[in-house]
Amino acid sequence: MAKDRATFSYRLDRDKLRQRREGRYLLRTNLTDDDPARLWGLYLQLFSIEAAFRNLKGDLAIRPIFHQDQARIEAHIFIAFLAYCLHVTLDRRLHALALGLTPRSAIEKFAAMQMIDLHIPITDGRELLLTRYTEPEPELALLIDKLKFVLPAQPSPKISPSQIDPPAPV
């Protein structure tokens, strides 16, 4: 056969493929001079990178922001990277301690907790500030316990300085 007319053909044995295909992958590549185990490792790396971008766009909702200043661009990339690191850390921790729970579902559960500032006016013109977070629902409390998180103590109340002039001394 002449080199200018070279062809390639293949045939799949469909009956054999139907027998046992659970948990098996067929990786097709144009890289021929590599070890198959190394090729599989590269494929898994590619899959991880694509998953990272899906997380950045989906779960973390990081979208392009068009900055004009180089320092702001770098800061945006840095914050996105930190968010991704926290996402991966949460994923690993969930995998070890709360198997079956995804970072997305855990974040949704934590979204139910809120921090509120309660401003209470006092008769002398000052204001009492109570910063409180809501008590977690039983399901979230169980997740917090499983992840071995410890909620901080509720902050102590603060009283603002007087906003009106004190009475003149008699």
Question: Could you give the CA distance from residue 71 to residue 114 in angstroms, rounded to a whole number?
Answer: 32
Assigned domain for 11 exists: no
Domain boundary residue, one of 80, 100, 120 = 100
Give pTM, 2 decimals: 0.56
Domain boundary residue, one of 73, 100, 127 = 100
Assigned domain for 90 exists: yes
Task: State how many domains the chain has.
Answer: 2
| Co-location of 140 and 93 in the same domain | no
> Mind listing the pLDDT tens digit for each residue in 48-70?
888 877 777 777 677 777 778 88
> Mind listing the pLDDT tens digit for each residue in 99-114?
888 888 898 899 889 9
Cβ atoms of 119 and 158 closer than 8 Å: no
The boundaries of the domain holding residue 51 are 35-100
| Co-location of 117 and 153 in the same domain | yes
Question: Could you give the CA distance from residue 101 to residue 98 in angstroms, rounded to a whole number?
Answer: 6
